[in-house]
Amino acid sequence: MIYLEVPKSLKPFVNQAHQVAKHLFRPISRKYDRAEHEYPKELDMLAALMDGLKAGSGQRRAGIDALQRDEQRKEGVRNGANMSTCLGLTELCWGDIGLALSIPRQGLGNAAITAVADSEQKERFDGVWAAMAITEPGAGSDSANIRTTARLDGDEWVLNGEKIYVTAGSRADSVVVWATLDRNLGRAAIKSFIVPHGTPGMEVVRLDKKMGIRASDTASITLTDCRIPKANLLGNAEIDTKKGFGGVMQTFDNTRPIVAGMAVGVARAALEHTRKLLAKEGIEVRYRGSLFRKSAAEAELIRMEADWEAGRLLMLKAAWMADNGIPNSMEASMSKAKAARVANRVTLRCVELCGGLGYSEDELLEKWARDSKILDIFEGTQQIQLLIIARRLLGKRSSELR
């Protein structure tokens, strides 16, 4: 049975994350919003602290649980790495999304390693900070349309292609690159490879300027006859037309609830701050009585809080299912689609409710509104999430419902 309160065992971790957001992220949030592409050095100490907390808690990283679903179902109900990561990032993104995305060794590529790599690779790449390179100029929302190639030459893979919108692409130690072994075999031939920075043939060619999450770097990378060891292919090189692509896509079943948690965090920040600003103007939110007897601002805040709660509950359900070995592909997409859309709407509406003050840089509301939009885009756009949900509900394959 799923419980809707923060598990007692995770409360210290959640509180730690909230203190980091409040006392570290919030004070430097505007600084790194203005200084795009400048690395937040304050995060180095935080990364070391988080490594210590993880080692002490015994929690596994989000993603690894997906590989042990059957074993976990025998153990009974549990709250593991997926739940703790979602709750932790909810608090961190209450502080700042861009800074949360910039914490060393917390990249999307790390989730891919734990979800797809074998035991030897997990040990070998332990402690690596890995970015994830999926999107290409001709392959955006449809990851199966990837054109970057990987060719085996003796004991080395040779990679050729171009990747764009790589979060932490210039800062991470390595990049997990999605590439195809054979374009003629479609999805089944797509595999993921770890390419360490400094590998000849891999080059960061551009850092993008963005509307939001400016503390986080977003890079474009080219791969030109880039050679990596044969052992750097995550998992195995066997092409299975039934589940080959499902292996790498499994990463998203663990990370989409995490994005939902990020959205829940920034939306909560906007709601709380808006309530405080309105209170200074004499507008107090009263929860008893009919909405029709309240001011327009009160009623709007209450409606947004209800919408926010729906996103939060979907996030909890998707993370809980992953921790308990229950297939959660549809629920992961539901949580991401709902929470991200709620975050967009809530942050923008809070700016409107606070008028000129919400629009100015005197407050963080306008920044949260800019930052929140990316949550509706990366890890699969809103439209892609709805398509995935429709396929699951109708029992259709991707070839049958596009």
In our burial notation (b when 16+ CB lie closer than 10 A, e otherwise), range 99-136 reads bbbbbbbbbbbbbbbbbbbeeebbeebeebbbbbbbbb
Both tokens of 285, joined, read: 């939110």
Which residues 6+ apart lie within 8 Å of 27 measured at CB? none
In our burial notation (b when 16+ CB lie closer than 10 A, e otherwise), range 162-189 reads bbbbbbbbbbbbbbbbbbbbeeeeebbb
Rounded CA-CA distance 150/173 in Å is: 21
Instruction: Estimate the crossing angle of helix 244-280 against helix 329-353, to 10 degrees.
Output: 20
Note the helical H segments in 354-395: 355-359, 365-372, 382-394
Rounded CA-CA distance 305/308 in Å is: 5
379 catalytically annotated: yes
- Which residue in the list 91, 298, 363, 379 is annotated as catalytic? 379
Rounded CA-CA distance 323/317 in Å is: 10
Rounded CA-CA distance 108/20 in Å is: 21
- Strand segments, DSSP code E, in 121-182 are 130-133, 149-153, 156-167, 174-180
Rounded CA-CA distance 343/269 in Å is: 10
Q: Is 358 helix (H, G, I), strand (E, B) or coil?
A: helix
Burial level of 355, CB count in 10 A (0-12/13-18/19+)?
exposed
Task: Kindly tell me the sign of the dihedral angle through the C-alpha atoms of 179, 181, 183, 187.
Answer: negative
Give the type of residue at 233: L
Rounded CA-CA distance 67/270 in Å is: 36
What does residue 133 show for φ and ψ, rounded to 5 degrees? Answer: -115, 105
- Residues that are catalytic: 379
